[in-house]
Structure formats: C-alpha cells, structure tokens
Amino acid sequence: MFTFLTRAVQTTRCFSTSSALQFPKLKSHNGTKKRWRSIASGKFKRAQAGHKHLNVNKSPSRKNNLGHTVYSYGTQTAKLRKLLPYGSP
C-alpha cells in the first residue's frame, strides 16, 4: 500500500510583479457598469435620467438641463467604488 504525502505549502505561479496576490477577484456590479463611468478625479459620471421620453410636456430649458452629465457626490462615490472596484483610478 502506498502512502501519499501532501505538501503543507502549495506553491503557485505568480506572473505579477507585485508580491501580494489579489485573490479572489472582485466582481463588478453589472447594473452599475452600464450606467456609470469613472473619471480621472476619482469620481463617476452618468447621464441624467428623464431625457428620453415624455418630452412633450417638458419645457425646453428643462429638456436642456436633463441632457447634461451628472457627477457623483461624496457618499455616493464611496458606494460606487465598492460596486466598481476596478473602475476607479
């Protein structure tokens, strides 16, 4: 009968230049990926809601303001960094 010895420490190949392994990989939130984009300042941007339809009853200035870009604010940015771990610089 053969006895099999197992190694106590298993060596893994690491092709990264950093010594710390990032395991397990974090998953990005799919709904957040579709709606938000990260910018260089560390904040996130998205399109304003309510611009696509039912525009007959909206004033031209309101429709113009709905076409602008919206940026994340302080506490929202912290939540978005957790939802998009690889999106923020």
**For the segment 45-74, what is each residue's pLDDT rounded down to a tens digit?**
999 999 999 999 999 999 999 999 999 999
Q: How far apart are CA 57 and CA 49, in angstroms?
A: 16
Q: What is the pTM of this model?
A: 0.68
Q: Name all domains of the chain by residue range, CATH numbers in brackets.
A: 30-83 (4.10.410.60)
More confident residue, 69 or 23: 69
